[in-house]
A and B are shown apart, each in its own frame.
Chain A
Amino acid sequence: MTSRLMSGNEAIAQGAWEAGVAFAAGYPGTPSTEVLERLATYDEIDAQWSTNEKVAFDEGMGAALGGVRTMVTMKHVGLNVAADPFMVFPYAGTNAGFVVLVADDPGMYSSQNEQDSRYLAKVAKVPVLEPADAAEAKQMIKTAFELSERFTTPVMFRTTTRLAHTRGVAEEGERVEVPRRQFSRKVSQYAIPVYARFRRPELEEKLARLREFAETFDGNVIEDGDPKIGVVSHGIPYQYVKEVAPQATVFKLGMVYPLPEKKLKEFCARFETVYVVEESEGFIQQELASFGISNVIGKERFTNIGELSADLVAAGLNGTPVPDDFAGEVAILPRPPVLCAGCPHRGVFSTLKKLGALVTGDIGCYTLGCLPPFDAMHTTFCMGASIGNATGFNRAGEEKVVAVIGDSTFLHAGLPGILSAAYNAVPTTTILLDNGTTGMTGHQEHPGTGHTLKGGPAPAVDYEALIKSLGVEHVEVVDPWDLAATERAIVAGLAHHGPAVIIARRHCNLLPEEKVREHATYRVDPDECIVCEDCFETGCPALVWQDDLPYIREWECVGCSMCSQLCPVDAIGLAEGA
Chain B
Amino acid sequence: MAVTNVLIAGVGGQGAVLASELLALAAIAAGHDVKQGEFHGVAQRGGAVFSHVRFGDRVHSPMAPRGKVDYLLALEKLEALRYAHFVKPGGTIIVNDHKVEPIRVGDQRPYPDDAIDVLEGKGFNVVVIKATEKANELGNHRAANVVLLGALSASLDIPQETWKSTLQERIPEKLLALNQQAFAAGRQLFTP
Residue ranges of A at the interface with B (Cβ–Cβ < 8 Å): 3-5, 30, 109-110, 133, 162, 165-169, 236, 239-240, 242-244, 309-311, 314, 322-326, 329-340, 365, 368, 371-372, 439-442, 539, 541, 544-545, 555
Question: In the complex, how many angstroms separate the beta carbon of A67 from the nearest chain B beta carbon?
Answer: 37
* Complex Cα spacing A82 to B35, Å: 33
**In the assembled complex, which residues on chain B have CB atoms less than 8 Å from the CB atom of A311?**
65-66
B105 touches A239 (CB 8 A): no
Counting chain B CB atoms within 10 Å of each CB, the highest count among A166, A329, A555 belongs to A166
Given contacts A169-B34, A243-B60, A329-B118, contact A335 B65 (CB under 8 A): no
Annotate B91-103 by CB proximity to A: 1 below 8 A, 0 otherwise. Answer: 0000000000111
Residues 42 to 70 of chain B near chain A (Cβ within 8 Å): 42-48, 59-67
Question: In the complex, how many angstroms separate the beta carbon of A106 from the nearest chain B beta carbon?
Answer: 13
B105 touches A371 (CB 8 A): yes
- 20 sample A-B contacts, Cβ–Cβ < 8 Å, listed by A number: A5-B21, A5-B24, A5-B25, A109-B41, A162-B62, A166-B35, A166-B37, A167-B24, A167-B34, A169-B34, A326-B122, A332-B82, A334-B102, A334-B107, A335-B102, A336-B103, A371-B105, A372-B105, A440-B43, A541-B45
**In the assembled complex, which residues on chain B have CB atoms less than 8 Å from the CB atom of A442?**
43
Question: In the complex, how many angstroms separate the beta carbon of A420 from the nearest chain B beta carbon?
Answer: 29
A337 touches B61 (CB 8 A): no
B47 touches A336 (CB 8 A): yes
Seed contacts A239-B60, A333-B111; 14 additional CB < 8 Å A-B pairs: A5-B24, A5-B28, A30-B43, A165-B37, A166-B35, A325-B84, A330-B81, A331-B107, A332-B78, A333-B109, A335-B47, A338-B44, A338-B47, A338-B103
A325 touches B85 (CB 8 A): yes
**In the assembled complex, which residues on chain A have CB atoms less than 8 Å from the CB atom of B111?**
331, 333
B78 touches A337 (CB 8 A): no
Given contacts A236-B62, A310-B63, A330-B81, contact A166 B36 (CB under 8 A): yes
B37 touches A243 (CB 8 A): no
A335 touches B78 (CB 8 A): yes
Residue B40 lies at the interface, judged by CB distance under 8 Å to chain A? yes
* Complex Cα spacing A380 to B11, Å: 26
A332 touches B81 (CB 8 A): yes
10 smallest CB-CB distances across A and B, nearest first, come from: A337-B47, A166-B62, A166-B37, A243-B61, A242-B60, A335-B102, A331-B109, A337-B44, A310-B65, A335-B48
Question: In the complex, how many angstroms separate the beta carbon of A236 from the nearest chain B beta carbon?
Answer: 7
* Complex Cα spacing A242 to B59, Å: 9
B65 touches A243 (CB 8 A): yes
Residue B112 lies at the interface, judged by CB distance under 8 Å to chain A? yes
A334 touches which of B37, B62, B85, B105 (Cβ 8 Å): B105
Question: In the complex, how many angstroms separate the beta carbon of A543 from the nearest chain B beta carbon?
Answer: 10
B42 touches A365 (CB 8 A): yes
Residue B115 lies at the interface, judged by CB distance under 8 Å to chain A? yes
Question: In the complex, how many angstroms separate the beta carbon of A216 from the nearest chain B beta carbon?
Answer: 26
* Complex Cα spacing A311 to B86, Å: 11
Q: Which residue of A lies closest to B58 (CB)?
A: A242
**In the assembled complex, which residues on chain B have CB atoms less than 8 Å from the CB atom of A165?**
37-38
Q: Which residue of B lies closest to A161 (CB)?
A: B39
A244 touches which of B35, B36, B65 (Cβ 8 Å): B65
**In the assembled complex, which residues on chain B have CB atoms less than 8 Å from the CB atom of A243?**
60-61, 65
For the residues of B in contact with A, the DSSP-based class is loop
Q: Which residue of A lies closest to B115 (CB)?
A: A330
**In the assembled complex, which residues on chain A have CB atoms less than 8 Å from the CB atom of B104?**
372
B66 touches A5 (CB 8 A): no
Residues 1 to 33 of chain B near chain A (Cβ within 8 Å): 11-12, 21, 24-25, 28, 33
A440 touches B107 (CB 8 A): no
Residue B110 lies at the interface, judged by CB distance under 8 Å to chain A? yes
* Complex Cα spacing A323 to B64, Å: 13
**In the assembled complex, which residues on chain A have CB atoms less than 8 Å from the CB atom of B110?**
331
B85 touches A239 (CB 8 A): no
B112 touches A110 (CB 8 A): no
A330 touches which of B25, B33, B102, B118 (Cβ 8 Å): B118
Given contacts A167-B21, A372-B106, contact A333 B62 (CB under 8 A): no
* Complex Cα spacing A275 to B9, Å: 34
A5 touches B81 (CB 8 A): no
B44 touches A544 (CB 8 A): no
Q: Which residue of A lies closest to B78 (CB)?
A: A333
Residue B161 lies at the interface, judged by CB distance under 8 Å to chain A? no
* Complex Cα spacing A555 to B81, Å: 26
* Complex Cα spacing A168 to B39, Å: 15
B42 touches A30 (CB 8 A): yes
Given contacts A332-B78, A372-B105, contact A337 B34 (CB under 8 A): no
Residue B137 lies at the interface, judged by CB distance under 8 Å to chain A? no
A322 touches which of B24, B48, B62, B66 (Cβ 8 Å): B66
* Complex Cα spacing A340 to B104, Å: 15
Q: Which residue of B lies closest to A322 (CB)?
A: B66
* Complex Cα spacing A441 to B41, Å: 10
B11 touches A335 (CB 8 A): yes
B44 touches which of A5, A322, A368, A372 (Cβ 8 Å): A368
Q: Which residue of B lies closest to A33 (CB)?
A: B43
**In the assembled complex, which residues on chain A have CB atoms less than 8 Å from the CB atom of B41?**
109-110, 337
**In the assembled complex, which residues on chain A have CB atoms less than 8 Å from the CB atom of B11?**
335
B85 touches A324 (CB 8 A): yes
A441 touches B85 (CB 8 A): no
Q: Which residue of B lies closest to A543 (CB)?
A: B103
B67 touches A323 (CB 8 A): yes
Given contacts A109-B39, A110-B41, A323-B67, contact A331 B46 (CB under 8 A): no
Question: In the complex, how many angstroms separate the beta carbon of B66 from the nearest chain A beta carbon?
Answer: 4
A162 touches B37 (CB 8 A): yes
Question: In the complex, how many angstroms separate the beta carbon of B90 from the nearest chain A beta carbon?
Answer: 15
Q: Which residue of B lies closest to A4 (CB)?
A: B28
